[in-house]
Amino acid sequence: METPRERIERLVAEGRKARADLERALLFWRQRLQAGILLPTGEMVRITLDDLYHLLVDDRIFRKPERIELILLSIFKIRQARQNRRRALSAWQEGERHLFGFAILDAESRARTMHVIDERDLRKYAKEPVLWSRSERPSSGTDQGQTSSACS
């Protein structure tokens, strides 16, 4: 089975992904992501080079690697996910568009995967226990406005 890095390199070699986009993503990682991203919770999340290649498998992130930073900085809720991981739900603006996404964070504060999703897909995660919530985000009706202090 190929690694995410091997997959991206193969897709670039086959002309299915642009080498310039990959180079731009690598530069963005070196300049903005390599040192870590401070979440709204105060936690520092690390993104290794291997993590970056895994995140770039999603075309919407490959084309706009700045979304990695936007997703992490725009987290409004963290829920408990499987395998002792956390699902960080995010919402942000790109021009006139309101976008949503999530990142899976492991116990070592690494971003393991990340995706841009439709708002309606947030409902899929409504049953996962809330670990942290940013109270100022208006509810979209898909979740309850709990804060971490309200969780037991």
User: For residue range 4-18, what is the model confidence (pLDDT) as tens digits?
Assistant: 999 999 999 999 999
Mean pLDDT of the residues in the chain: 90
Percent of the chain with pLDDT over 90: 88
- 139, two tokens: 């509810």
pTM of the model: 0.86
Cα(first)–Cα(last) distance of the chain, in Å?
Answer: 41
How crowded is residue 90: how many other Cβ atoms within 10 Å of its Cβ?
Answer: 24
Sole residue written with tokens 């999530």? 102
**Annotated domain spans of the chain:** 4-150
**CA–CA dist 75, 37 (Å, integer):** 12
Separation between Cα atoms, residue 111 and residue 86, nearest integer Å: 10
Helix, strand, coil in percent for the chain, rounding step 5: 35, 25, 40
Q: What value does the mean pLDDT take over residues 36-56?
A: 97
Q: Which helix (H) or strand (E) segment is 98 a member of?
A: strand 97-105
Q: Give residue-wise pLDDT tens across range 104-147.
A: 999 999 999 999 999 999 999 999 999 999 976 544 444 444 33
Q: Of 47-61, 88-102, 113-127, 132-146, where does mean pLDDT reach its minimum?
A: 132-146
d(CA 150, CA 46): 28
Query: Which of 87, 80, 126 has its CA nearest to residue 103?
Result: 87
